[in-house]
Structure 1
Amino acid sequence: MVTAPSPTPLSDSNLGALLCQVRNELIGRLERELAAHGYEMNFSQYLALKKLAAHGPMSAGELARTINLDAGATTRLLDRLEAKGYLRRQPHEQDRRALRIALTEAGQALWSDIHACGERALAEATRGLAPDEHVRLHAMLSGILATLRGGN
């Protein structure tokens, strides 16, 4: 009788590599989902629209921090989305020297459409999980994130 080998525990470095691979595959899945539905955009553009839709107008620096891009990459990203009519740079309400980035009506409509692409990509990635496994995975990842951010 042949027995299956016991699973090898992941070392910390293997876990880090696995988390990175999962992230990369999720991004790829999302970008393929967007392309399959006729949306010409990458993950960073999707994420910028998502953050602006969820949090409202913000400065370019705030957006850059929330989507983890440097200033130059953020400027190029904003230029592309502005040229497509999805966002606008508008004066800050209290500081005339500052600009806020806001979704246009077209950007809000686009987000309403592409939000479903993100949901489908994530559902496809987790379709093999039982409901209780999904809950446990979410709890574990939330715990890791809280620890990394300095929480309990």
Structure 2
Amino acid sequence: MPTPNLHTPTTFDQGRVSYAIFQLARAHRGYAAGLLRQLDLHPGQELVLMHLFDRDGQTQSELLASVGLDHSTVSKTLRRMQDAGLLIRQPADHDRRVMVVHLTEKGRAMREPIDSMWRNLEEITTRNLSPQQAESVIDAADAIVYAINARTKTDRIESETS
């Protein structure tokens, strides 16, 4: 079992769960970024590719909703991926203002390397967890995301009515 971090801030006790989530996210993202670099990808690009593997020809708006990133981040990500030859963006037939995103051959060829990377990431992530603990992590993460998203919606509604 890992040893506790001896360099935690003095305010650690005020937000132990939040600090644990921060440490977890940082470690996971850092490890994933290293794996992605080996594939010449940046974090987040694999998520776009995974959504396009399942359904090629999505609009930028559909991808935006799927990956849960802000508009400018998705736009920058798609531009980088197009420059790397992984996808192309073309105006939709029904509305030239709407951009449709398609994988190139190079992009489609990333499916197996990404699948392999994702399996590796999952294996490392869950290595010290029992199957029950892994399910508990998923349940806890879902509950936290729900609570934060529900609070964010409440904050928006309250600010719009004041």
What's the TM-score once normalised by structure 2's chain length? 0.70
User: CA RMSD of the aligned region, Å?
Assistant: 2.5
Structure 1 distance, partners of 2:26, 2:35, is: 14
Query: 1:50 aligns to what?
Result: 50
SS of the residue 1:43 aligns to: coil
State the match for 1:7 in structure 2: none
Distance 1:82 1:126, change over 3 A: same
The answer to whether structure 1 residue 108 and structure 2 residue 108 are counterparts is: yes
Q: CA deviation at 1:98?
A: 1.4
The answer as to 2:118 corresponding to 1:118 is yes
Any unmatched runs of 5+ in structure 1?
1-9
Deviation at 1:108, TM superposition (A): 1.7
The question of whether the paired residues in 1 share the 8 Å contact of 2:36 and 2:43 is answered with no
TM-score, reference length from structure 1? 0.74
Distance 1:63 1:22 in 2: 26
1:139–1:74 CA distance, 2 compared to 1 (3 A): closer
1:19 matched residue in structure 2: 21
Structure 2: segments with no counterpart, 5+ residues? 1-11, 151-162
Q: Distance in 2 between matches of 1:106 and 1:120?
A: 22
8 Å CA contact retained: 2:87, 2:101: yes
Task: Measure the CA separation in 2 of the matches of 1:136 and 1:129.
Answer: 10
Opposite residue 89 of structure 2, the aligned amino acid is: R
**Counterpart Cα distance in 2 of 1:84 and 1:57:** 18
**Higher RCO, Cα 8 Å, sep 6+:** 1
> Pairwise mapping of residues 2-41 of structure 1 onto structure 2 (< 5 A)?
13-35=15-37, 38-41=38-41
Taking the aligned partners of 1:60 and 1:48, their CA distance within structure 2 comes to 10
Q: Distance in 2 between matches of 1:69 and 1:55?
A: 18
Alpha-carbon deviations, 1:31-86, whole Å to 9, x = none?
Answer: 22233xx3111112222212322343333234334434443333332122112221
Separation in 1 of the partners of 2:73 and 2:137? 32
AA in 2 matched with 1:114? I
Give the match for residue 60 of structure 1: 60
Who is 1:98 aligned against? 98
Paired residue total: 139
Once the two structures are aligned, what percentage of the paired residues are identical?
23
| One-letter code aligned to 2:91 | P
Structure 1 residues 68 and 132, CA, compared in 2 at 3 Å: closer, same or farther? closer
Deviation at 1:129, TM superposition (A): 0.6
